[in-house]
């Protein structure tokens, strides 16, 4: 069964450094998302992306965050200057576009640890 893949599985970064998290969505999906889950807390929406532009973003997704679809298969989340509170699991999701059920399918996440 097709799946969303994310790399790396674990990223350790010094505070203030830039980090890029990578995702390969399911191939025929056109809607892409990033969520995060701080340890012990709910999964929270960050941003959705469709047709090469941001569809919606949350309050968390401030100027330190950016997303990009650099080619036909990858979808990236960049955090420009990481803070301690950015430590979390980051999940990428994708969904198809069209009629019928369009649920979001998630990858296994990248665990981001900020030191």
Partner 1 sequence: QKEVEQDPGPLSVPEGAIVSLNCTYSNSAFQYFMWYRQYSRKGPELLMYTYSSGNKEDGRFTAQVDKSSKYISLFIRDSQPSDSATYLCAMSADSWGKLQFGAGTQVVVTP
CB of 14 to partner 1, least distance (A): 23
Give the pairing type, strands 75-79 and 43-50: unpaired
115 lines the binding site for partner 1 (CB under 8 A): no
Phi-psi region of 30 (alpha: psi -120 to 50; beta: other; left: phi over 0): alpha
50 lines the binding site for partner 1 (CB under 8 A): yes
| 52 vs 11: CA distance, rounded Å | 26
CB of 84 to partner 1, least distance (A): 21
4 lines the binding site for partner 1 (CB under 8 A): yes
95 lines the binding site for partner 1 (CB under 8 A): yes
Q: Rule CB under 8 A: choose which of 7, 74, 102, 113 binds partner 1.
A: 102
Host H or E run for residue 72: none
Reading the block at residue 4, the tokens are 């969303």
65 lines the binding site for partner 1 (CB under 8 A): no
Q: Which of 93, 96, 89, 115 is nearest to 106 (CA)?
A: 93
Residues that bind partner 1 (CB under 8 A): 4, 6, 31, 33, 35, 41-45, 48, 50, 55-56, 58, 91, 95, 97, 101-109, 111
């Amino acid at each position: 069964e097709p799946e969303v893949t994310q790399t790396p599985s674990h990223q350790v970064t010094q505070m203030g450094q830039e980090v890029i998290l990578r995702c390969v969505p399911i191939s025929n999906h056109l809607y892409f998302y990033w969520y995060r889950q701080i340890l012990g807390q709910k999964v929270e929406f960050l941003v959705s992306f469709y047709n090469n532009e941001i569809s919606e973003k949350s309050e968390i997704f401030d100027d330190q965050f950016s997303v990009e679809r650099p080619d036909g298969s990858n979808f990236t989340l960049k955090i420009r200057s990481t803070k301690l509170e950015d430590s979390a699991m980051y999940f990428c999701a994708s969904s198809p576009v069209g009629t019928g059920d369009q649920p979001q399918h998630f990858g296994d996440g990248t665990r981001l640890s900020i030191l």
